[in-house]
Amino acid sequence: MQGRPSASPPLPGRAVVEQRWRDVVFLHWRVDPARVAPYLPPGTRPDVLDGTTWVGLIPFVLADARFPPFPPMRRLGTFVEVNVRCYSVDHDGNRGVVFRTLEAGRLLPVIAARLAFGLPYRWASSRVVHRVDAAGHELDFRSRRHGPGGPSTRIRACLGAPVPSDAPDAALAQFLTARWGFHEQHLGRTMWARNTHGPWPLLRAELLELDDELLAASGFGDLAARPPDSVLASPGVATAFSRPRAIEAPAWRLQPVTRRRPAPA
Residue 97: is its pLDDT beyond 50? yes
Report if residue 2 sits inside a domain: no
Q: So what's the pLDDT on residue 262?
A: 46
Residue 35: is its pLDDT beyond 70? yes
Q: So what's the pLDDT on residue 5?
A: 58
Dist. CA 238–CA 150, nearest whole Å:
31
Report if residue 4 sits inside a domain: no
Residue 265: is its pLDDT beyond 80? no
Report if residue 257 sits inside a domain: no
Report if residue 5 sits inside a domain: no
Residue 238: is its pLDDT beyond 80? yes
- Domain count along the chain: 1
pLDDT tens per residue across span 105-159: 999 889 988 988 899 999 999 999 999 998 899 999 999 999 999 999 999 999 9
Dist. CA 56–CA 97, nearest whole Å:
10
Residue 264: is its pLDDT beyond 60? no
The average pLDDT across 197-207 equals 95
Q: What is the pTM of this model?
A: 0.90
Residue 87: is its pLDDT beyond 60? yes
Q: So what's the pLDDT on residue 166?
A: 92
Q: Environment class of residue 70 by beta-carbon count within 10 Å: exposed (0-12), middle (13-18) or buried (19+)? A: exposed
| Residue 234 binned pLDDT confidence (cut-offs 50, 70, 90) | very high
Report if residue 146 sits inside a domain: yes
| Mean of pLDDT over the chain | 90
| Residue 254 binned pLDDT confidence (cut-offs 50, 70, 90) | very low
Residue ranges making up the domain that contains 98: 19-252
Report if residue 10 sits inside a domain: no
The average pLDDT across 184-192 equals 92
CATH number at residue 193: 2.40.400.10
Report if residue 9 sits inside a domain: no
Strand locations in 11-120 (E): 15-31, 44-46, 53-66, 79-90, 95-104
Report if residue 40 sits inside a domain: yes
Highest mean pLDDT: which range of 3-12, 62-71, 198-207, 243-252: 198-207
Q: So what's the pLDDT on residue 3?
A: 47
- Residues 6 or more apart from 121 whose CB is under 8 A from it? 102, 103, 104, 109, 110, 113, 114
